[in-house]
Amino acid sequence: MESAIIDAADQIVVPTFVSPLCICILWLPLLQLGGVAGYLFLPLAEAIVFAMIASFILSRTLTPTLAAWLLRGQVVAKQQSASGTQPGNIFTRLQAGFETGFNRFRQSYRNLLETITSRRKRFVVLYLCAALASLLLFLDTGQDFFPGIKSGEIDMHMRVPVGTRIEESTKIAVLVGRQIHDLLPGQVTGTLMNCGLPSSGINLAYSDTGTVGSQDCDIAITLRNQASPVARYRQILRVGLTARFPGTVFSFLPGDITAKILNFGLPSPIDVEISGRDLATNFTYATKMLDRLQHIPGIADVRIQQVMGQPTLLLASRRSFALGTGLTEADIADNVLANLSGSGQVSPTYWLDTSNGIAHLVNSMAPQDQLTSINDLQNITVDSGNGNPTNALPQLVGALSTIHQTGSPGEVSHFAIMPVIDIYANVEGLDLGSVTDAVARVVKGMAPSLPRGAAVTVNGQSVTMHSAYAQLITGLAVSIVLIYLVIVVNFQSWLDPFIIISALPAALGGIAWILFLTHTTLSVPALTGAIMCMGTATANTILVVAFARERLAEHGDPVQAAIEAGFARIRPVLMTALAMILGMLPMSFSNTQNAPLGRAVIGGLLVATATTLLFVPCVFAMLHRRAPGAAQAAQKGEAA
């Protein structure tokens, strides 16, 4: 028995070396992937690479040793079966029954393979055409960077009419909270509201909600069930709240931490930037573009981030009048600021507490209840701040200046120094790729009316998504070429590696089918699953082709060698594929970002396994020629 195990290990030395090496090469694209995708999948790639290295070492050392030790019982069971003695162990009887059924299945497979190989040219052409045609399904699956998950929370941003005071915004937010409970009866456990700007700039720096003033409120909605259909609830709130609160703009923010990271600080996955020096003209152009973007299917919550009509009182001083009284324009501004914002804005003063050595800012200002109208503002007294040594009469702001009601930008954003107008948009019901392509077409269609000196750029998740896709697909193509060259070196043939690689398009077709049938979009996890699937498919194909080469070298008949290879290697091929498929089932049904990975592996391996057992033997038999004297050798074998 020990010699049989050693002979078996020697016979499969090439497959056991090449298969883990090919899987490691296929994971090279993830090892060099950057950004968030690289951060999420780099540990997975490293774990698989090192696991493959360890598995190769164990397969050449520990596995043969354990086989020599544990298979003695199987030898005894076979001897008892040959002598007619039925073993009493229930597990042995179950195994014997399974072996009987599996042998019948394997014999049926051999009969099918013999039928297919007899018509191999027609079968190969039809199978390859079907596999390549299946790749067209990727055009219908759509593209996302990462799939959305159900987080059990809805984050919503509310913007009431510009200029609304903070207390009025809070009242409206409370009414909105009540309507949320009415629109989603029994589904909401609580709402948390945050209105206006935070008191500290540090809190604003860590916020991605787009809050710019007292008219903005953030509402966090906690759902009772974490598996609730968040997308459907968002649509209910979007329609219901807009009808109940006209003039208020509602937009939804990413609820799970992964989506927030993927937005890179933006409140939405799509950001159309209009940059240029003429801010007012660019805002008018952005308003026209906003109207066109709203008609794109699948787009939602389209809004302009910057506020241009913030209610403002413009105080224009009359310098000739002020100079006549011995005052300057700076004196008027300092006195108004000291009354409205405090003396700390114009003349910071600190008081030192001698007991503990801490200095405190002293800030004096007029009580807010004494500045409630334009008349109160006009009655602010103005002095030069020098103690009035000449005993001059005090002057009033209204006598030295005029006050006009106007609008001003509530927020001025910059990118690369240039002022920017941002149009944010979410994606609902469609994939990010198709919506972004439609946005790009709208931007291109409005390019002739772009203001002079302005530029439009589409930013957001789509840019990072296309970059990650390009890295993965390019790296995958390079990895397949490297695998081909590695197999060429080990097999000392250019033809057999081509036979092995020919099974990969069918695996991609299987991935396309399962994504299409499960309504799953193409994403970085799905591409990662494609890498995993093709690694396993390549390893299984190597097993079949390596055994077929050995049988071809022995008797020289490629058709017979292909049939024998499929018949002999059907067990390890099915075991490897079945173990991977069963292991991916929980992931494919889970509410995680990696669900597309599991589905891609399952769909790809289902088709790849059929390809390995049916398509690859036919290609091997078709591309290899019958060796000289093979027919005579076959006839002699039949006669014997």
Q: Which domains does the chain have, with CATH numbers?
A: 2-145+465-626 (1.20.1640.10), 150-255 (3.30.70.1430), 311-408 (3.30.2090.10)
Beta carbons of 251 and 190 less than 8 angstroms apart: no
pTM summary value:
0.77
Given this model, what pLDDT does residue 289 score?
93
Q: Which residue has the tokens 């006050």?
A: 403
* Both tokens assigned to 513: 């089918």
Give the residue among 203, 188, 303, 194 at the shortest CA–CA distance from 234.
188
Residue 372 in tokens: 């409630």
Q: Does residue 585 sit in helix, strand or coil?
A: helix
Contacts of 558 (CB under 8 A, 6+ apart): 548, 552, 620, 621, 624, 625, 626
pLDDT along the chain (640 residues), means of 10: 51 55 62 58 70 74 72 60 58 74 88 89 90 89 82 87 89 92 90 80 65 87 85 90 91 78 81 90 92 91 88 86 84 88 83 88 86 87 79 83 86 86 90 90 92 89 83 79 79 84 87 91 86 82 86 86 89 88 87 84 91 90 67 45
What pLDDT does residue 408 have? 84
Per-position b or e across 332-371, b if 16+ CB within 10 A of its CB: bbbbbbbbeebbbeeeeeeeeeeeeeeeeeeeeeeeeeeb
Beta bridge partners of 253: 155
Could you write out the DSSP letters of every residue in 460-524?
EHHHHHHHHHHHHHHHHHHHHHHHHHHHHHHHT-SHHHHHHHTTHHHHHHHHHHHHHHTT--B-H
The predicted structure's pLDDT at residue 636: 45
Neighbours of 429 (CB within 10 A): 11
What is the longest distance spanned by two Cα atoms in the chain?
135
Which residues fall within 8 angstroms of residue 518, CB to CB, at 6 or more apart?
Answer: 599
Cβ contact 451:283 at 8 Å: no
DSSP strand pairing (418-427 vs 358-362): unpaired
Phi and psi at 421, nearest 5°, equal -110, 125
Name beta bridge partners: 457: 273
Q: What is the DSSP letter of 393?
A: P
315 exposure class (CB count in 10 Å sphere: 0-12, 13-18, 19+)? middle
What tokens does 229 get? Answer: 């259909």
Residue 343 identity (one-letter amino acid): S
Residue 196 C-alpha from the chain's centroid: 31
Give the residue from 36, 106, 72, 18 showing the smallest Cα distance to 468: 36
> Tokens at residue 264, please?
């890179």
Dihedral over Cα of 364, 370, 375, 381: its sign: negative
Q: Is the dihedral of CA 260, 262, 267, 270 positive or negative?
A: negative
Q: Which two three-digit tokens encode residue 283?
A: 């805002």
- The CA distance from 364 to 343, in Å, is 5
- Encoded tokens for 124: 């190969």
E-strand stretches of 305-346? 310-317
